[in-house]
Structures are given as structure tokens and as C-alpha cells.
Amino acid sequence: MKRPSLRAVALTLIPFAAMCFSVPLWDRIYPRVFGIPFNLFWLVSWIFLTSLCNWAAYRVEVPPGSAESDHHPKGGAQ
């Protein structure tokens, strides 16, 4: 069993800090962004940022060009 690398774990902990534990800091209506209450805007931003964190973790676990990087851009359906 491959142990997950600490850097990858740290990267995936960022979304927990931002979307979960810090809720008292961002659960508010103002400042509104594009007319949207701040709490909703914050979470929507972290949808994209979480994807980015997971991607960075992926690059840590599977470095580009490594033997394990069996990359099929089209997903290779069945």
C-alpha cells in the first residue's frame, strides 16, 4: 500500500480549512460580490479552488511523465 505523501495531504486539507472550520469568518452577507451574499460567493469560489488543490495533489502523487501517469485525455470510455 502506497502511503500518501504529506504534501498531497496538506494540499487537500486546504479546502477543509476554507470551507468548513472557518465558517464563522465568512458566514455573512456583506460585502456582496456581483450582488451575491458573501458566504455563498465564498463557497462558490472554493468549488474552483478545491479542484485546483486536488489537481496540485495529483501532480504531487503522479508527477508528469512518471510511469504511473497513464494519461488518456479522452478518458478512454470502456
Residue 18 amino acid letter: A
Q: How far is the CB of 12 from other proteins (least distance, A)?
A: 4
What cell does 51 get?
479542484
Instruction: Cell numbers for 58, please give them.
Output: 495529483
Task: Give me 8's grid cell.
Answer: 498531497
Give the binding site for other proteins (CB under 8 A). Answer: 1-2, 4, 8-9, 12-13, 15-16, 19-21, 23-24, 27-29, 32, 34-37, 39-40, 43-44, 46-48, 50-51, 53-55, 57-58, 61-62, 68-70, 72, 74-78
Q: Three-state SS for 41?
A: helix
d(CA 61, CA 39): 32
Instruction: Provide the minimum distance between the beta carbon of 13 and other proteins in the complex, in angstroms, as a whole number.
Output: 8
Minimum CB separation of residue 65 from other proteins in Å reads 14
